A and B are shown apart, each in its own frame.
Chain A
Amino acid sequence: MSPHAAKSFKVIGTRVVKLDAVEKVTGAVQYLPDMEVPGMVWGKILRTPVPHARIKRIDTRRAEALAGVLGIVTGYNVEQRPFGYAKDHLALKRDVVRCIRDEVAAVAAETEELAAEACRLIEVEYEELPAVFDPAAALRPDAPQIHAQFPGNVVSFTYRFNAGDVDRAFREADVIVEGTYTLQYVTTACLGTMAAIASWDPRGNLTMWSTTQIPFLYQRDLAEALGISGDRIRVIQPPVGGNFGRGLDLYPIDIIAALLARHVNRPVKIVFDRDEEFLASPTREPCVFTLRTAARVDGTLLARDARVIIDNGAYVSWGSTTPYVMMTTLAGFYRCPNVRFDTAIVYTNNVYSGSMRGYGNLESTFAIEAQMDDLAERLGLDRLAIRRLNANRPGDVTPQGLRITTCALWECFEAAERDIRKPVAQPPRPGWKRGIGYAGMFHVGGGARVYRSDGCGAIVKLDDFGKASLITGASEIGQGSETVLAMIVAEELGIPLGRVEVVNNDTAVKPWDVGVHASRTTFIAGNAALLAARDVKRQLLALASEQLDEAVSALDCEDGFVFVREAPATRRIAYEKVVRAGHFREGGQILMGQAFYDPPTQMLDKDFRGNVSLTYGFAAQAALVEVEEATGKIEVLRVASAHDVGRALNPVGCEGQIEGGIHMGLGYCLTEELRLKDGRVLNPGFLDYKLLTAPDMPEILVTLIETVDEAGPFGAKGLGEAGTIPISAAVANAVKDAVGVRLTELPLTPERVYRAIRASISTAGT
């Protein structure tokens, strides 16, 4: 029996008000752009207008002469070191620019307007070089070379995975389906843009206020880029207006803010404006995903064979590592014994791709789930029956060695089907056809060991007012980590949520953590918080045992009191009194528990095998759509989304993550595309980059299925990305169901759908 099953909870599983909600609904919250540091000036970055060129000359004299300008940095007047995952660029470019976001200079001035004006006065002479924007073209031998040290424009990471005998499986298969799926550039489009404030003290210590979501790796990477040691950098994370993976890397903005601040000896603030955010914040990597699937006549999966070409853009950030996740889904989602995966990650002169919620999994899932439907159609099987036949089950080990423990994938499909079949209020419209589509999801849910540690530290301090402070390594980026972690501490210590405070935004105070990614925070930071709370509780009971003159084994605690189990009403002592007794006695002590939780998992080895997560998350979504045949317009009427969450610690938070994830995934599916032409972003604004609005959103029915995973805090698994991952596949399958056409390119614009419908009619006619 699970260690979490028997207990009834007071805080866990209840609908609570988010800890930071009052500040947010009253406008009291202070985001980074709201902050001022004494003596602060404004920084602005000048970018190249041409995608590939040699820098012949930079003349900053006219800009420097402008009243109110404090100083200008370029790649030629400051010392900097290469940064990024492949160390393939400098924050301020020297000699060559390789994409139109490239930073060539930055100005510090008394106001933001003056800094912008000074940027316009900087003269840069470029000698344009031939450029390449299409990954397939970039792979040709005569293509322009983007980095001398990476010949052939191939990023030097290989992700080649092989399990079983794929060729034989395809030879012996009863049915084979194949397809090529073209997936576009999209971006996080956070409402709050990227921002940084850099401030140096006279001893050479740097404080950064940043929108990062990986403060400790950022601290290390920034130190390296600046050529100082990490202990000189303190990172503070004010509330941030969304992140969704945007803050997973170190970017030029942070390095430039630090360089400028040092150059002018004043704190410097840089805030991206909206078009700069579209241009110079990370994107999801566009890719062309070619997949073949082989199956037996009864629908049993035999093999998958995939090759993915990824447009990396001009520099390497996390976009180039998404194949880790693509591969894991390809080899692990549904039972499939024979798997081959390969990828080419290609440098182009496009803006460079980073990480974004779902991280490679949307792409794999889109291809896999299209082919599950295609297989069902070819074999004359029910679409859900083929999924049930191949669904992952508890105890499965994937070809990569991922160990599946709790798994309610099929139950998720049942719940999604139940909800999508419920009657719909709107009657069908003439000229529109309805269809239902399904797609499931498999993702890490118990951390993800992509770094040598997958750990998080936590400290719980109990004070002389009976209040607990959780000092956690985890970062709050709006996803609600602060609230769910506080709920865990409140539950474990037996105090109301209102008596837990969370400190989580300062590297000088908080213990180490890898960062926010891979839906890991509730699971990893939650376990750390739970262990730290247990540690302080042990100390509390030990101290109380002296005061109550009873053995620790005779004591328990709840509702802010330590009590003798035999006489709970009469022999009890409030936490604050226990803490004060510690302060007042000779020798004294404080009550502070600590823990570092790092799950017993493995990094993928050189053959890409290893159990990267301690448990895995599953979900299934169903979409009900209407398609207007005359125009190709799609309307999504309802989404049913069922999730194996282990345990829903904070149900409001779970639903919020899922509903928001669906918004992001539906945008990917229907409307969002960062359009590039010759390396230029054509739609750097909300008017042309279409986020779905309130009237665009369908009814969403969420089901949370509790499998109570014994590895998770109170049984919970991660789910931050889950809502985003399957929805585009579910909608594409629903469109197929409605009008009979298989769309393989996102977004599913009316034009694409219309053309596909026309093509199918003309094919049917011949």
Chain B
Amino acid sequence: MTERYPLELTVNGRRIRREIPGSRTLLEFLREDLRLTGTNLSCDTGDCGACTVLLDGQPYPSCIMLALDVDGQEVTTIEGLAARWQAQSGARPPELHPVQRGFLEEGGAQCGFCTAGVVMAAAGLLEAHLQADGAPTEAEIRAGLEGNLCRCTGYTKIIKAVEVAAQRMRAERRART
């Protein structure tokens, strides 16, 4: 019998306690134990970014992290991103995160398999810039998404979507403060 270890963390605002095998990756834990299948498995080696989630607000590839390594941390997946934005901005459900809205308006998703990971990476990037009341340049957006592969879009509409989102987030923050 595989030995199990206690894990306690917050996923999308919900406290979770489980006993899991030590070898379980964060991605397996999210997809299989919690059935949060919005985060996709693509390379399993941390090279493509499809499995990106936020850990305490920072984007990380969940396929190469052990679930036990994020014990005590706050995990946000694509399923919890809109709620995270609502909590930050005071927006009401079902308003989506500005990056998600940018993707809808600009056509950032085609097959969509990389989308959850790209959206999470972009959301993390914009949150970091927003803390300094800034917005990333186009080059900074490209650099921030370097770890996310997309085979459909050529990234053009993704970058536009993130630019639109950055402007919207900054405007919203300024209106609020």
Contact = CB atoms under 8 A, between A and B. Distances in A.
Is the A/B pair a real complex? Answer: yes
Interface of A: 15, 17-18, 20-31, 33-34, 188-193, 239-244, 273-274, 477-480, 652-653, 655-656, 659-664, 685-687, 691, 693-695, 697, 700
A56 to B, nearest CB: 33
B73 interface: no
Given A655-B107, A695-B143, A190 B78 contact: no
A418 B25 CA distance: 51
B114 interface: yes
Contacts of A34: 31, 37
Contacts of B105: 17
Given A26-B82, A695-B143, A191 B149 contact: yes
A656 B151 contact: no
Contacts of B43: 274, 685-686
Interface of B is mostly: loop
B111 A26 contact: no
Nearest to B156: A659
B146 interface: yes
A694 B40 contact: no
Return the 5 tightest CB-CB contacts between A and B, nearest first.
Answer: A27-B38, A478-B111, A241-B113, A24-B112, A27-B78
Contacts of B109: 18, 20-21, 24-25
Nearest to B113: A241
Nearest to A664: B151
B153 A660 contact: yes
B82 to A, nearest CB: 7
A700 B156 contact: yes
Interface string B93-123: 0001000100111111111111110010000
Contacts of A25: 78, 96, 100, 103-104, 108-109, 112, 115, 119
Nearest to B97: A25
B107 A18 contact: yes
Interface of B: 31, 36-45, 47-48, 50, 77-79, 81-82, 96, 100, 103-116, 119, 139, 141-143, 145-159
A479 B110 contact: yes
B146 A695 contact: yes
Contact of B157 (A24, A192, A274, A655): A655
Nearest to A274: B43
Given A274-B44, A695-B142, A244 B79 contact: no
B37 to A, nearest CB: 4
A662 B151 CA distance: 10
B116 A27 contact: yes
B9 to A, nearest CB: 19
B44 A273 contact: yes
Nearest to A271: B41
Contacts of B154: 659-663, 697, 700
B151 A693 contact: no
Nearest to B145: A694
Given A24-B112, A700-B156, 20 more contacts: A17-B105, A18-B107, A25-B103, A25-B108, A25-B115, A26-B78, A191-B113, A191-B149, A192-B40, A478-B111, A652-B107, A655-B156, A656-B107, A656-B110, A659-B155, A663-B151, A686-B47, A687-B47, A691-B151, A694-B148
